[in-house]
Amino acid sequence: MSTDRIRLTLIGAGIYARDAHAPSLRALADHFEVKSIYSRTEANARALAETFDYPIDTTSDLEALLARDDIDAVDVLLPIERIPDVVEQALEAGKHVISEKPTAPDLVTGRRLLAHKSRFPDQVWMVAEQYRYEPAYNHAARLLIEGAIGRVITFQWMVSKSITPESPYYHTSWRQTPAFQGGYLLDAGVHHAAALRMIFGEAIQVSAAATSIQPDLPPLDTLNATLTFQSGVIGNYGATFASKAPWQGFLNVIGDEGVLRVDRPELIVERPGMEPQRQQMWEVHERSTVTMLRDFAEVVRGEKAQVVSTPEQCLQDVALIEALLRAAATRQTQAVERIV
């Protein structure tokens, strides 16, 4: 087991690299040393490098970067459609890989990537799905297993997020003209799929309707669905990115003895005749991106066997969203393909 810092390069210097990964890497300075930052616009890479308190070189030459022998791992923070090719190149170059969610933009590409990874069994590949490390969803799953609200009957989760010109993500060029299915319904939807699967297990069947409200959020921005899980739980999930309302929506789980509300980062359990029990998860737990990157470091160092957020698990998230989009397009109930 090595306790040396992992020599890491960031491939991508956009909003999420700046606002989430870079701060988390600075908080994990005993685990990671950022050696280099790549961006096609090198000025963006230089600006991000300056947020660290030690020198970091920058480049717009990806091929030369991957050929370096002083880099152990790469953190791929690129548009969804570019991720698969760069993951393949990084694995072939002998690097451990963190890649932003999703595993791939579709199941066909994802299965190809998993087959490619099988050629490199000694390298770690983690998909950066931070909802798998979010304490609110993890604790909610434990409470349900412990019977906090009795037998789970059903749930409702309607996510309302405003994507307007005031949103920093609105102006991302690859989101304005997405080259992948579903637009924001996939981009953000895989987060929701991860949380739902963590809490309720595998979804086996879905029906859905989807539409476009705002033409500047192509191809679809609103979905409503009914999901059936292998456990027998049925529930409703929906998402819209066309509302200007600030309300993000909470997950409401109904059991035969009470109700569990997940309003991240707060959990609320209500049972008849009892005062509501509230827990603020971020008061006692670190943020999910820090936990996620530490998980990657511990596996690379040999301190544990496997990351929580595997490419297979995250491709199953894609399978769920793909089934929802297929159900909406065909207006027919669809089975969810199984990856794991």
Closest Cα to residue 5, out of 309, 292, 305, 298? Answer: 298
Residue type, 268: I
The DSSP letter of residue 144 is H
Rounded to an integer, the average pLDDT of 90-104 is: 98
Pairing label, strands 266-270, 277-280: antiparallel
The yes-or-no verdict on residue 1 having pLDDT over 70 is no
Q: Above 60 in pLDDT, residue 255? A: yes
Residue 3 above 70 pLDDT?
no
Please, which pLDDT band fits residue 2 given cuts at 50, 70 and 90?
Answer: low
3 state DSSP class of 243 = coil
The domain spans of the chain are 6-131+288-307, 134-284+318-335
pLDDT average, residue stretch 188-209: 98
Please provide the CATH number assigned to the domain covering 134-284+318-335: 3.30.360.10
Q: Which residue has the tokens 């002083």?
A: 70
Report how far residue 329's alpha carbon sits from residue 97's, in angstroms, rounded to the nearest whole number: 34
Summarize pLDDT for 129-165 with one digit per residue, the tens: 999 999 999 999 999 999 999 999 999 999 999 898 9
For 6-131+288-307, CATH number? 3.40.50.720
Q: Given this model, what pLDDT does residue 166 score?
A: 87
Query: Does pLDDT of 302 surpass 60?
Result: yes
218: left (phi over 0), alpha (psi -120 to 50) or beta: beta
Residue in 206, 220, 223 with CA at minimum distance from that of residue 158: 223
